[in-house]
Chain A
């Protein structure tokens, strides 16, 4: 049995918990107090408003705890806003949030809501069959260094990537009923 926490400060928390609960041998927890982060085998940073979640991480003094989880090489997966939190650089600003992953991201990269969209693509490392992809005011990765492996490009832009224990997706697998990306993360946690 492995324990995966979903950061529960703001955003699409319940959706992640719901999908994780359908995978066997996984205990899914919402985590928001400092002590909730003890004994986690993996952590998901959900979608939401990255600015807001970052402020809340500061307000509740949780940033160092997550940074320490990364030092212990606990797998961390950021979806959409979560990917922005992981990034070391954010286009158009001099700030970053958790500063963990060697990627530069562009927020709302496809424009505002009028540019949210659905797509289907194969991510070879995750599944041989097409995965449904939901992009909601999504970011994408504009730059990365060699340590970061691209998992998927869409129209030339990197929208899924991996660096050691870190996984980032610009899209929201938790807004679909497809469990494959969550299972991929669970396997990453088990292999850890």
Chain B
């Protein structure tokens, strides 16, 4: 029997293997196959992409298990699925049907306004959104094996993802300059565990991988998030809400692998069709 600590370490290790990858939102097996063929490292199975959730309104819940299972059998790469914030039973269902990762996601309507899921109770790894270091560390303390920026999903507007990543980087840099007495005060102010604060101060990095998410629509967006220090990117509505999903998927994968090479990013940005229609933040902010 594995201890909780061992399991958590292994889940963090598993997530490390996603580094440098692109994770795409898909709503059916055909889209999942396109994503896999384009070279994405995992897919996020959901009934409606964030742009549609945004447009249609109503309560957004975890997807139909039958639809997720179809996607699991359609691809050989890992499949993630979303549970509402705090909805531990949706998470239990997702674990039961064998998803590889659960995203406790603010893109869905929260089920609990106060508490997140106790992710340490689960065998399956979790990814959670964060807008800053204190949120990230609280999610990690609850058992998240992977963090992503929240961004502003479904908008095609990268501004919030950039803001969250810059905030996180800046807070991490500040921590590395503090001594232990100051770190305890920081832990108190950030409402985050002292042990995690000390880790970040020593290593200058989060103890788990961190992906960019929310509003990434172009190869240049993806490459910028990578240059800002993300370990990989989620592309939600950006692929299958665009004019030529196959081409755009491939272009974003290439730009993510060669994020530091403007020649490659320029080349893949040519003639990839219409990007998804952007929504300017925050004129149509989701009510979450």
- On A, residues with C-beta under 8 Å from B are 8-15, 32-33, 47-49, 51-52, 55-56, 59-60, 80-81, 107, 112-114, 116-118, 134, 136-137, 172, 175
Report A-chain residues with C-beta under 8 Å of the C-beta of B14.
Answer: 113, 116, 136-137
Having A52-B21, A175-B13, one finds 12 other A-B pairs with CB under 8 Å, namely: A8-B20, A10-B21, A14-B19, A48-B17, A52-B77, A55-B39, A60-B254, A81-B17, A113-B123, A116-B10, A118-B10, A172-B13
Q: Which A residue's beta carbon lies closest to that of B256?
A: A10
The interface bits of chain B over 51-95 (1 if a CB of A lies within 8 angstroms of the residue's CB, else 0) are 000000000000000000000000011100000000000000000
Report B-chain residues with C-beta under 8 Å of the C-beta of A56.
Answer: 39, 253, 257
- Are B20 and A9 in contact, CB atoms less than 8 angstroms apart? yes
- Are B17 and A49 in contact, CB atoms less than 8 angstroms apart? yes
Q: Does B142 contact A (CB under 8 A)?
A: no
- Are A52 and B39 in contact, CB atoms less than 8 angstroms apart? yes
Q: How far is the CA of A113 from the CA of B123 in the complex (A)?
A: 8
> How would you classify the secondary structure of chain B's contact residues: helix, strand, loop or mixed?
loop
4 nearest A-B pairs in the assembled complex, by CB-CB distance: A55-B39, A10-B20, A116-B10, A52-B41
Q: How far is the CA of A56 from the CA of B37 in the complex (A)?
A: 10
Instruction: Find B100's partner among A11, A112, A175 (CB 8 Å cutoff).
Output: A112
Q: Which A residue's beta carbon lies closest to that of B39?
A: A55
- Are B20 and A59 in contact, CB atoms less than 8 angstroms apart? no
Report B-chain residues with C-beta under 8 Å of the C-beta of A137.
Answer: 14, 17
Report A-chain residues with C-beta under 8 Å of the C-beta of B21.
Answer: 10-11, 48-49, 52
- Are B13 and A10 in contact, CB atoms less than 8 angstroms apart? no
Instruction: Find A9's partner among B11, B18, B250, B257 (CB 8 Å cutoff).
Output: B257
Q: How far is the CA of A116 from the CA of B11 in the complex (A)?
A: 8
Chain B, range 235-288, C-beta contacts under 8 Å to A: 250, 253-254, 257-258, 261
- Are B19 and A13 in contact, CB atoms less than 8 angstroms apart? yes
Quote the shortest CB–CB distance from B8 to chain A (angstroms): 11
Report A-chain residues with C-beta under 8 Å of the C-beta of B13.
Answer: 116, 134, 136, 172, 175
- Are B16 and A49 in contact, CB atoms less than 8 angstroms apart? no
On whether A118 and B124 interact (CB within 8 A), knowing A32-B257, A56-B39, the answer reads no
**Would you list 17 pairs from A and B whose C-beta atoms are within 8 A, ordered by A residue?**
A10-B20, A11-B17, A12-B19, A32-B258, A33-B261, A47-B17, A49-B17, A49-B18, A49-B77, A49-B78, A51-B77, A55-B36, A55-B39, A59-B254, A107-B76, A117-B10, A172-B13
